[in-house]
Structure 1
Amino acid sequence: MKTNYHSPQQFFRQRRLRLFTVLVILLGIYFTSMALVNFQTWNSITKIPAGLIWLFHNFIPTERSISSLGQILYQLWRTLLVSISSTVVASLFSLVFAILGAKTTTPNEAVRLIVRFGASLLRNIPVVAWAMILLFSFKQSDFTGFLALFFMTLGYLTRAFTETIEDLDAEKLQALQAVGANYFQCVFCGILPEAASTMTSWVLYMIENNLRDATLVGLLTGTGVGFLFDFYFKSFRYDAAGLIVLLIAVLVIVLELTSTQIRRAIA
C-alpha cells in the first residue's frame, strides 16, 4: 500500500521517526547483548589509550628484528605463492562451475541448482574452519593451507562469476544462437570475452584477500609467515612480530596498487 504525504514536512517527519525507531532498536540490541555477556563498554574504552601505547612501544621493529629480515621475507614469499596459486587454480574451476551454474549457460536446471548449492556451502564455511578440518587429514603443511584457501575461494568465485555471466546482455548470446553457433561457440565467443575484465578483477581481489587469510591459516597449519609470527609472538619477540605485520601491510598495499593498474589496463 502506497503512503500519501500531505506535505514535505510530513514526509520528513515520517523519515525521522523511522530512523529514530531503527536507532532505538539497534541500541536496545546492543545494550541487551552487553548485559548478557557482561561487557563493560566504558571500562574498555578507557583502556584503549594504554593498550595503544603498549602496542606502539613493543611492536616497533628494532635492529634486533632486522637481523631476522631474511627469514621473514622467505616465509612471506612462500605465503604469497600459496595465496596466488590457490586463487589461480580455484578461478579455473570456478569458471567451469559458473558456466554450468548461470541461468543463461546452464545445460539444465538440476545442474544449476547443484552448482549454486555447492558454491554456497563452500563459501559460507570460514577459511579457518577449512584449515582445522583439513589439518587432521593433511597435517601441518603448505598443502593444507593451499586446500583451505582453495575451497573457500572456489565457492566465492563461483558465485561471483555466475552473477557476472548472468548480468551480461542476453541479446548477444541469442544473436549467436540465431546464426547457428553451438553451445561452446556461444560460451567462448560470446560470454567469456564480455566477462573477462570483470572476472579478472575478482581474481585480483581474491589474491589480495587470500594473502591476508593465508597469514591466519599459517597459524594453524604451522607454515608460512603466519607460523613465524606466532613463534615470535609466543617468544615475546614483539619487535620481530611487528616487523612481520609491517611487511604484510606493505605487500598488501603493493598488491592492491598493482591490481588497480591491471584493472585499468583491461577496462
Structure 2
Amino acid sequence: MRDNFFLKKRMNTLYFCLFMLVVTFISIIVTDYDVIKGFTSIPKAVEWAVSNFYPNEKAWNRLPAIAGSLTETLLVSIASTVVAAIFALVFAIAGSHATGVGGFISWLSRSIATLFRNIDVAAWSMILLMSFGQNVLTGYFALFFGSFGFLTRAFMESIDEVSSSSVEALRATGASYLSIIIHSVLPSSIPQLLSWILFMIETNIRQATLIGILTGTGIGFLFSLYYKSLNYNSASMVVMVIVCTIIIIESVSNYVRKVIL
C-alpha cells in the first residue's frame, strides 16, 4: 500500500514535469524565442554593463539629489503601508473565522480583500493615473490599495491561526466582543502582524521604484530620466543606492522580526 502511494506520487511528479516542458516548448514556438541566441547574448550584455553601467564622478555629484528622491520614496512606502495596515486590521477582524461577526459583513470583508489583492500595484498605478495624474498621491494610493489587499488576507490568516482557542475560551466565559479583541486577539497576534507589516514595507520600497517610473515621482522617476537620456552612469548610481537601501532595510527588518517573534 505504501509502495503504491509513493509510486503514484512519483508518477504525478513526472506528469507535472512533462506538462511544464510541453508548455515551455509551446511558449518558445509561439513567442519565436531563440534560446541559443538568448544565452549567447549574455556575455555581450555583461560586457556592455561593465563598460557603461557604472557611476563616474558626475554621477557621485548627483548623489544628494538621488538621496532626496529616495527619501521621498521611503516615506511614501512607509506611510502607505502603515495606513493600509490599520484599515486591513479592521477588515481582517471583521472577516476572520475566529473573530468575524459572520454573515454578509464577513463575506464582504473577504471579497474586498480578494479584489484588492488580485489587482497588481502597477495596474493600480495605471488606473489611478487617469484620476490623479502624475504625482506623489497616485503612487501613495497605488501602494495603499495593494498593501491593503495583501495585509488583510495575511492578517486574517494570522488571527485565525493564533487566536481561535483563546477566543473560544473567552466566549465561553461570556466576555464581550470588544473584550475578546482587546485582551485576546491583539496581544496574541501582534508579533505576526508586525512581521507582515515589515515585510510589506520592504516590498513596497521595491514596488515604489516601478511606480515612480509610471507616475513620474521619487527615485523611479530619476532612474527613468537618466536612463532615457542615455546617462547610464547616473542611472547605475540610482540602482546602487536602491540596492544598498533595500539591503539595509531588510537587515533591520530581519533583526526586528527576531526580537518580536
Taking the aligned partners of 2:115 and 2:29, their CA distance within structure 1 comes to 34
Q: 1:106 to 1:29 in 2, by over 3 A?
A: same
Matched with 1:157 is 151
Matched with 1:42 is 36
Matched with 1:214 is 208
Q: 1:178 to 1:148 in 2, by over 3 A?
A: same
Taking the aligned partners of 1:262 and 1:154, their CA distance within structure 2 comes to 22
Taking the aligned partners of 1:19 and 1:133, their CA distance within structure 2 comes to 40
Within the candidate set 178, 188, 197, 2:182 is matched to 188
> What TM-score results when the alignment is normalised by the length of structure 1?
0.93
Give the deviation of 1:250 after TM superposition: 0.6
Matched with 1:238 is 232
Give the deviation of 1:169 after TM superposition: 4.3
Matched with 2:53 is 59
Taking the aligned partners of 1:16 and 1:97, their CA distance within structure 2 comes to 42
- Residues 163 and 184, structure 2, Cα contact 8 Å, conserved in 1: no
Matched with 1:73 is 67
Letter in 2 for 1:239: N
Give the deviation of 1:15 after TM superposition: 5.2
Aligned residues: 261
Within the candidate set 81, 97, 108, 1:87 is matched to 81
Taking the aligned partners of 2:6 and 2:160, their CA distance within structure 1 comes to 38
Post-superposition Cα deviations, 1:6-42, rounded to whole Å, max 9, x if no partner, equal xx5x776655544433322211111111111111111
Aligned partner of residue 119 in structure 2, secondary structure: coil
Give the deviation of 1:187 after TM superposition: 0.4
1:252 aligns with 2:246: yes
Aligned partner of residue 149 in structure 2, secondary structure: helix
Which runs of no fewer than 5 residues in structure 2 stay unpaired? none
Letter in 2 for 1:100: A
1:100 aligns with 2:94: yes
Give the deviation of 1:177 after TM superposition: 2.1
Taking the aligned partners of 2:6 and 2:118, their CA distance within structure 1 comes to 39
- Residues 167 and 185, structure 2, Cα contact 8 Å, conserved in 1: yes
Post-superposition Cα deviations, 1:30-72, rounded to whole Å, max 9, x if no partner, equal 1111111111111111111111221232111111100100000
CA RMSD of aligned residues (A): 1.5
Letter in 2 for 1:20: L
- Residues 159 and 189, structure 2, Cα contact 8 Å, conserved in 1: yes
Which runs of no fewer than 5 residues in structure 1 stay unpaired? none
Provide the identity percentage: 41
Letter in 2 for 1:82: V
Taking the aligned partners of 1:147 and 1:11, their CA distance within structure 2 comes to 50
Matched with 1:123 is 117
Aligned partner of residue 39 in structure 1, secondary structure: coil
Taking the aligned partners of 1:11 and 1:167, their CA distance within structure 2 comes to 30
Taking the aligned partners of 1:12 and 1:45, their CA distance within structure 2 comes to 37
1:166 aligns with 2:144: no
Q: 1:167 to 1:13 in 2, by over 3 A?
A: closer
Post-superposition Cα deviations, 1:88-128, rounded to whole Å, max 9, x if no partner, equal 00000000000001011111221111111111110111111
Give the deviation of 1:170 after TM superposition: 2.2
Give the deviation of 1:189 after TM superposition: 0.6
1:227 aligns with 2:221: yes
> What TM-score results when the alignment is normalised by the length of structure 2?
0.95
Taking the aligned partners of 2:194 and 2:121, their CA distance within structure 1 comes to 22
